[in-house]
Amino acid sequence: MSPTTGGNGPSVPILGFLTCVAFLYLSFGDLWLDYNREPELGFVTRNGTQFVLDGKPLYVNGWNSYWFMDHAVNDHSRHRVGAMLEAGSKMGLTVCRTWAFNDGGYNALQISPGRFDERVFKALDHVIAEAKTHGVRLLLSLVNNLQAYGGKTQYVNWAWQEGVGLSSSNDSFFFDPSIRRYFKNYLTVLLTRKNSITGIEYRNDPTIFAWELINEPRCLTDISGDTLQDWINEMTAFIKSIDKKHLLTVGLEGFYGPKSPKGLTVNPEKWASELGSDFVRNSESPNIDFASVHIYPDHWFHDQGFEENLKFAVKWMESHMEDGDKELKKPVLFTEFGLSNMNKDYEPSQRDRFYRTIFDVVYKSAKRKRSGAGTLVWQFLIQGMEGFNDEFGIVPWEKDSIQRLMMEQSCRLGKVSGRLFQDKKSTEICSHKP
């Protein structure tokens, strides 16, 4: 044997070295991986008036991009979903609200009752998978009170066309037994959908922050609120019978009903108490986990200037957080807010002040461990989406002041919840902060 290869001499120290390396990796490898890789998402739960994640409070700083599924259908526009989620993640945003419905019409998810377009379902699969990749959770809305993307009008038309509808009124969505069956079938298919990318059923996917039953429900044909309340109770119980892991909210604008003492003192005007909804009553439903509220004073009043609208927004938020603390004992999430650039007295700086004021109210609530659980801006887009924009839309990286406000709020809420510098993302976003 050659002296350089013969015998056991050199192999013993090499083997010892490899054993040592293996021991160190098994002992400390997870620490290295944890630093370089974001942790797996867990389910968000609630404890009283607080959202909870991994044993700590979670305060939401997020946004709306209702258009995700629609844009994920086609190859030429699919990249916009990832681009928007990446931008949100880089601002420290934790939740995005988007539509998980498109009933009838172009790129419909549900073509007709019980018939679904697999191509569009795969688009929604993509949205959820992309959100997971970027560490953002989704608040998925299940149907629209408005006609956009089908909504309750489409369900009523389907029942009418099939000769089983009780009424041509849009509000028959809430009381027609045939339409209730249509909607329950849709819920069953959606909740038990197995994601074609991740292999996870929607009901078992922690990327989904929560379900929203309906966007801005109103039932004008029964201002007592009984019809809408019965529907909420029935549908939320049905959802929870299939999915007990996810949080559930109604999707309310936040108006008080005719029997509420706040109907006259807090509602913007008399009409707001005659919409068939009631914030406290609807949110008290036993299967509702948190309350939802929208903030649009410039749409609700037609004779107020910016300063008056700003004062109303604070009063509106404080009132609903008071309800969350004292009546509901549940978190209150402000799931839409915005300031229109079509207002007569609009100036770009007003939007910054409006956002700042709303963020400050939530931050103060978080510091006091009150029910104000967070906010979702309406709405964020990326360049080249003029057809999906409205008077509230923002491309965040084109507005440095808005981007800074969003990042600052993420860091403030992270500090209050004890999450600041607990992961790579918050460290990168907030380490430059004083």
Q: For residue range 320-346, what is the model confidence (pLDDT) as tens digits? A: 999 999 999 999 999 999 999 999 999
Whether residue 31 lies inside any domain: the answer is no
Whether residue 36 lies inside any domain: the answer is no
CATH number of the domain enclosing 145? 3.20.20.80
Q: Are residues 60 and 376 in contact, defined by beta-carbon separation less than 8 angstroms?
A: yes
The two tokens of residue 101 are 């419905």
User: Residue 4's pLDDT is what?
Assistant: 33
Give all strands of the β-sheet with 95-99 in edge-to-edge order: 247-249, 208-212, 137-141, 95-99, 60-64, 372-377, 332-337, 291-295
Kindly name the residue from 336, 386, 408, 428 that is annotated as catalytic: 336
User: Residue 35's pLDDT is what?
Assistant: 35
The two tokens of residue 60 are 């939401």
User: Residue 434's pLDDT is what?
Assistant: 43
Share of the chain above pLDDT 70, in %: 90
Instruction: Point out which residues pair with 295 in neighbouring strands.
Output: 337
Whether residue 322 lies inside any domain: the answer is yes
Kindly name the residue from 130, 212, 216, 253 that is annotated as catalytic: 216
Give all strands of the β-sheet with 56-58 in edge-to-edge order: 45-47, 50-53, 56-58
Neighbours of 337 (CB within 10 A): 23
User: Residue 202's pLDDT is what?
Assistant: 98
Whether residue 48 lies inside any domain: the answer is no
Instruction: Give the β-pairing of 45-47 and 50-53.
Output: antiparallel
User: Residue 421's pLDDT is what?
Assistant: 73
User: Residue 6's pLDDT is what?
Assistant: 37
Report the distance separating Cα 86 and Cα 321, nearest Å: 31
Report the distance separating Cα 150 and Cα 161, nearest Å: 15
Q: How far is CA 160 from the centre of its chain?
A: 32
Report the distance separating Cα 71 and Cα 100, nearest Å: 12
User: Residue 39's pLDDT is what?
Assistant: 57
User: Residue 26's pLDDT is what?
Assistant: 44
Report the distance separating Cα 364 and Cα 371, nearest Å: 11
Alpha helices in 37-74 (DSSP H): 68-72
The whole model's pTM is what? 0.90
User: Residue 9's pLDDT is what?
Assistant: 41
User: Residue 236's pLDDT is what?
Assistant: 98
- % helix, strand, coil for the chain, step of 5: 45, 15, 40
Instruction: Point out which residues pair with 57 in neighbouring strands.
Output: 52
Distances (CA, A) of 323 to 49, 51, 281, 374: 11, 16, 11, 15
Whether residue 130 lies inside any domain: the answer is yes
- Residue 274 a catalytic site member: no
Q: Are residues 294 and 334 in contact, defined by beta-carbon separation less than 8 angstroms?
A: yes
- Residue 347 a catalytic site member: no
Please tell me what DSSP assigns to residue 194: B
Q: Are residues 136 and 95 in contact, defined by beta-carbon separation less than 8 angstroms?
A: yes
Q: Are residues 256 and 278 in contact, defined by beta-carbon separation less than 8 angstroms?
A: yes
User: Residue 424's pLDDT is what?
Assistant: 75
Question: Which letter, b or e, does each residue of 159-169 get, where b requires 16 or more Cβ atoms within 10 Å of its Cβ?
Answer: bbeeeebeeee
* Mean pLDDT, each 10-residue run in order, the chain (434 residues): 37 47 42 45 95 96 98 96 97 97 97 98 98 97 97 97 93 98 98 98 98 98 98 98 98 97 95 98 98 97 94 98 98 98 94 98 97 98 90 92 96 92 79 59
Q: For residue range 354-388, what is the model confidence (pLDDT) as tens digits? A: 999 999 999 999 999 999 999 999 999 998 898 89
Query: From start to end of 44-176, where are the E strands?
Result: 45-47, 50-53, 56-58, 60-64, 95-99, 110-112, 115-116, 137-141
Whether residue 22 lies inside any domain: the answer is no
Neighbours of 338 (CB within 10 A): 23
Instruction: Point out which residues pair with 376 in neighbouring strands.
Output: 62
Please tell me what DSSP assigns to residue 334: E
Q: How many domains does the chain have?
A: 1
Whether residue 206 lies inside any domain: the answer is yes
Q: Is the dihedral of CA 58, 59, 61, 64 positive or negative?
A: positive
Report the distance separating Cα 337 and Cα 357, nearest Å: 12
The two tokens of residue 296 are 């649009």
User: Residue 197's pLDDT is what?
Assistant: 98
For 371, the domain range is 58-431
Whether residue 332 lies inside any domain: the answer is yes
Q: Are residues 152 and 144 in contact, defined by beta-carbon separation less than 8 angstroms?
A: yes
Closest C-alpha among 354, 207, 335 to residue 279: 335
